[in-house]
Amino acid sequence: MPEPRHELPVSNTPLLESDVLRTFVAIAESGSFTRAAGQIYRSTSAVSMQIKRLEETLGRSLFVREARQVRLTPAGETLLGYARRLLRLNEEAVAQFLQPALQGRVRFGTPADVGTRILPGLLALFARSHPGVEVDVSVARSIDMIERIDDGELDLALVTVGNLGQDDSRGEPIHSEPLVWAGRSGGVAALRSPLPLALASPDCAWRRQALDALDRVGRSYRIAYSSEQTSGQEAAMIADLAITPYPASLLRPPLQRLDGQYGLPPLGEYQIKLLRGSNRSEAVEVLAAQVIATFAEHRRRFGGHRSESNEELAWRAG
């Protein structure tokens, strides 16, 4: 006689999809649907729909809608712990069965303004898609990274064009966008005379563009705050101590674009290039291709240089 079949009972409990949980975690950690969408390479409207379906599945609201950010509800905070554990378990399970097709090591350099805003999402995705590749990241000035490329200490490096003493003929242009005047929304720093500025070192391209523009129109100014890190310049703007030249797509509340106001002159574009060292391994080339694709997506997504999308504003108001 054949062995009796023992079938598992069918559960009516809905399953949580890893893709949706990854979106939920990205929003929770970034505090913004728009920023999360950029990190996972989806449109903001698609991200909003995922969260709407997740909330309907669980019968709970997961986020509180506020004017400038989203934050977790108590139910959302509970789900966040489960979501992180489920995603880690999923990655461990897949890693047990999939032998990494690509292996190696890439030494990658980036300026702080790029490294702290655009690349974290890219590197996280790269680590998941190519777990056999070890990426060592260095954050430094552009001119220092060029020297490290030449000395064989880096395989890839992003550099900002226009820094004093820098050879701008080298490298592959991968990104260009407006450099704008930025300050605190509702602040008064831009009304002061002389104009207070928050700037980096004298060899910085953004500083040179800003001072040259002010000199051309005869606007008086003073260096009120100096910092090599964009985080320091942001602190000065948030405190309404100064205004600063800044990439349009990196502005976040409570900072705003001041171009066209207070008699401030236009600053033009700024450009980023990708430099390659002597190591042209497959791992290096794959990461280089993904960096280029990331900046192309960044330009497409923030082409209008809006701090928040229409879709996210509609979600908040809903």
Q: Give per-residue pLDDT as tens, 94-147.
A: 776 765 678 899 999 998 877 667 788 888 888 888 888 999 999 988 889 999
- Residue 309: which pLDDT band, with cuts at 50, 70 and 90? very low
DSSP lists the bridge partners of residue 223 as 197
The verdict on 82 and 108 lying in the same domain is no
pLDDT at 10: 53
Query: Among residues 71, 98, 125, which one ends one of the domains?
Result: 98
Task: Kindly state whether residue 38 falls inside one of the protein's structural domains.
Answer: yes
Which CATH number is 287's domain given? Answer: 3.40.190.290
Q: Which residues contact 272 (CB under 8 A, 6 or more apart)?
A: 114, 158, 159, 160, 161, 173, 174, 175, 176, 295
Q: Are residues 61 and 132 in the same domain?
A: no
Q: How far is CA 82 from the centre of its chain?
A: 25
Residues 192 and 122 in one domain: yes
Element housing 285 (H / E)? helix 282-301
314 within domain boundaries = no
CATH of the domain at 55: 1.10.10.10
Do 83 and 158 belong to one domain?
no
What distance in Å separates the CA atoms of residue 11 and residue 261, rounded to the nearest whole number?
61
User: Percent of the chain scored above 70 by pLDDT?
Assistant: 89
> What integer pLDDT is reported at residue 303 of this predicted model?
64
- My answer on whether 168 and 50 are in the same domain is no
pLDDT at 35 over 90: no
- Which of 65, 98, 131 delimits the end of a domain? 98
Structurally, the chain folds into a number of domains equal to 2
207 within some domain:
yes
- H/E segment holding residue 82: helix 74-97
In a shared domain, residues 88 and 171? no
Q: Residue 311 above 60 pLDDT?
A: no
Residue 308 sits at φ, ψ, to 5 deg, of -155, 140
What gap in Å lies between CA 69 and CA 76, rounded to an integer? 15
Whether residues 127 and 186 fall in one domain = yes
Q: Are residues 210 and 225 in the same domain?
A: yes
Cβ(280)–Cβ(228) below 8 Å: no
Last residue of a domain, one of 98, 122, 149: 98
Cα gap 293→101, rounded to integer Å: 21
Within a domain: 318:
no
Same domain, 94 and 110: no
Q: Considering the chain, what percentage of its residues have pLDDT values greater than 90?
A: 54
**Cis peptide bond N-terminal to 194, omega within 30:** yes
Residue 28's domain comprises 18-98
- When mean pLDDT is compared across 37-41, 116-120, 304-308, 313-317, the lowest value belongs to 313-317
Residue 316: which H helix or E strand, with range?
A: helix 310-317
Longest dimension (CA), the chain: 99
